[in-house]
Amino acid sequence: MLCPWCDQEMKEGFLQSSRGVIFSEEVKEGFVLALREGDVKLTKHLWSTPRAPAWHCAGCRRVVVEYEDG
Ligand SMILES: [Zn+2]
């Protein structure tokens, strides 16, 4: 995949965390994230570490993530 910002080849891998990762339009406070309408769960885990397919551009230090619904 070519980086949409700088057109260089991106490295394919995974966004991974010991906890789930979400996208939200505002900063959330607190230890446990409460999902609200509009929040997007990026990682998925079924008997494994939460992860999602991702591509990394070292040139502009950006990551593109592919997530599934649910
Ligand atoms: Zn880039």
Task: Name the residue ranges covered by the structural domains of the chain.
Answer: 1-23+37-70
SS3 (DSSP) at 68: coil
| Cα angle 22-26-59, degrees, rounded to a multiple of 5 | 65
The pLDDT assigned to 16 comes to: 94
Q: How far is the CA of 12 from the centre of ligand 1 (A)?
A: 13
Question: What's the pLDDT at 70?
Answer: 58
Q: Please answer whether residues 6 and 64 qualify as being in contact, where contact means their C-beta atoms are separated by less than 8 angstroms.
A: no
Q: Ligand 1 centroid to 63 CA: how many Å?
A: 9
pLDDT for position 9: 97
Please give the distance, rounded to the nearest whole angstrom, from the Cα atom of residue 68 to the centre of ligand 1: 24
What predicted TM-score, i.e. pTM, was given to this entire model?
A: 0.84
- Residue 39 Cα to ligand 1 midpoint, Å, equals 25
Q: pLDDT tens per residue, the chain (70 residues)?
A: 999 999 999 999 999 999 889 999 999 888 777 888 999 999 998 788 999 999 999 999 999 999 987 5
Expressed in angstroms and rounded, the spacing between residue 46 Cα and the centre of ligand 1 is 31
3-state secondary structure 1-60: CECCCCCCECEEEEEECCCCCEECCCCCCCCCCCCCCCCEECCECCCCCCEEEEEEECCC
Tokens of 6: 């700088």
